[in-house]
Amino acid sequence: MEHYVVTYDIADDKRRSKVFKTLKDYGTHVQESVFEVVLMTEDYVELRHKLLRRIHRDEDSVIFYRQCRACEHDVERLGRKVELVGIGDIVL
Protein backbone atom coordinates (compact mmCIF):
# COMPACT_ATOMS: atom_id res chain seq x y z
CA MET A 1 0.00 0.00 0.00
CA GLU A 2 1.09 3.50 -0.78
CA HIS A 3 0.09 6.71 0.94
CA TYR A 4 -0.74 9.70 -1.27
CA VAL A 5 -1.72 13.29 -0.80
CA VAL A 6 -4.04 14.16 -3.67
CA THR A 7 -4.82 17.75 -4.62
CA TYR A 8 -7.06 19.02 -7.34
CA ASP A 9 -7.95 22.24 -9.12
CA ILE A 10 -11.11 21.80 -11.17
CA ALA A 11 -12.52 24.69 -13.19
CA ASP A 12 -16.15 23.54 -13.29
CA ASP A 13 -18.37 23.08 -10.19
CA LYS A 14 -20.07 19.95 -11.53
CA ARG A 15 -16.77 18.25 -12.39
CA ARG A 16 -15.28 19.39 -9.06
CA SER A 17 -18.17 17.74 -7.23
CA LYS A 18 -17.63 14.49 -9.14
CA VAL A 19 -13.91 14.53 -8.38
CA PHE A 20 -14.64 15.20 -4.71
CA LYS A 21 -17.12 12.30 -4.51
CA THR A 22 -14.71 9.99 -6.27
CA LEU A 23 -11.85 10.83 -3.93
CA LYS A 24 -14.13 10.54 -0.90
CA ASP A 25 -14.69 6.90 -1.82
CA TYR A 26 -10.96 6.27 -1.51
CA GLY A 27 -9.66 8.43 1.29
CA THR A 28 -9.99 11.21 3.81
CA HIS A 29 -10.85 14.79 2.95
CA VAL A 30 -8.33 16.80 4.96
CA GLN A 31 -8.67 20.30 3.50
CA GLU A 32 -10.43 22.01 0.63
CA SER A 33 -9.27 20.26 -2.55
CA VAL A 34 -6.93 17.96 -0.58
CA PHE A 35 -7.35 14.28 0.26
CA GLU A 36 -5.14 11.69 1.85
CA VAL A 37 -5.52 8.20 0.45
CA VAL A 38 -3.91 4.84 1.06
CA LEU A 39 -4.07 2.62 -1.97
CA MET A 40 -3.02 -0.74 -3.25
CA THR A 41 -1.55 -0.54 -6.75
CA GLU A 42 -4.74 -1.76 -8.40
CA ASP A 43 -6.81 0.80 -6.47
CA TYR A 44 -4.42 3.55 -7.55
CA VAL A 45 -4.87 2.52 -11.17
CA GLU A 46 -8.66 2.41 -10.76
CA LEU A 47 -8.82 5.81 -9.02
CA ARG A 48 -6.54 7.39 -11.61
CA HIS A 49 -8.73 6.01 -14.40
CA LYS A 50 -11.93 7.32 -12.77
CA LEU A 51 -10.44 10.77 -12.27
CA LEU A 52 -9.19 10.95 -15.84
CA ARG A 53 -12.75 10.28 -17.00
CA ARG A 54 -14.11 13.13 -14.84
CA ILE A 55 -11.68 15.94 -15.61
CA HIS A 56 -10.99 18.05 -18.66
CA ARG A 57 -7.28 17.76 -19.20
CA ASP A 58 -6.96 21.21 -20.71
CA GLU A 59 -8.73 22.97 -17.80
CA ASP A 60 -8.33 20.83 -14.67
CA SER A 61 -5.52 19.23 -12.72
CA VAL A 62 -5.20 16.44 -10.17
CA ILE A 63 -1.85 15.84 -8.50
CA PHE A 64 -0.82 12.71 -6.58
CA TYR A 65 2.05 13.20 -4.12
CA ARG A 66 3.28 9.76 -3.09
CA GLN A 67 4.70 9.61 0.41
CA CYS A 68 7.21 7.03 1.46
CA ARG A 69 6.35 4.97 4.53
CA ALA A 70 8.99 6.73 6.62
CA CYS A 71 7.63 10.11 5.51
CA GLU A 72 4.15 9.32 6.90
CA HIS A 73 5.56 9.72 10.39
CA ASP A 74 7.05 13.10 9.51
CA VAL A 75 3.69 14.70 8.77
CA GLU A 76 2.96 17.51 11.18
CA ARG A 77 -0.65 18.61 11.60
CA LEU A 78 -1.64 21.91 13.17
CA GLY A 79 -5.17 23.05 14.01
CA ARG A 80 -8.30 20.96 13.94
CA LYS A 81 -7.94 17.24 14.24
CA VAL A 82 -8.60 15.17 11.13
CA GLU A 83 -9.53 11.54 11.57
CA LEU A 84 -7.76 9.69 8.79
CA VAL A 85 -9.49 6.71 7.28
CA GLY A 86 -7.55 3.91 5.79
CA ILE A 87 -4.07 4.55 7.13
CA GLY A 88 -2.71 1.05 7.34
CA ASP A 89 -6.03 -0.41 6.16
CA ILE A 90 -7.33 -1.32 2.78
CA VAL A 91 -9.53 1.49 1.50
CA LEU A 92 -12.18 0.65 -1.03
Residue 84 carries which DSSP code? -
Query: Does the annotation place 60 within a ligand binding site?
Result: no
**Cα–Cα distance measured from residue 58 to residue 71, given in angstroms and rounded to the nearest whole number:** 32
Binding residues: 9
Binding residues for Mg(2+): 9
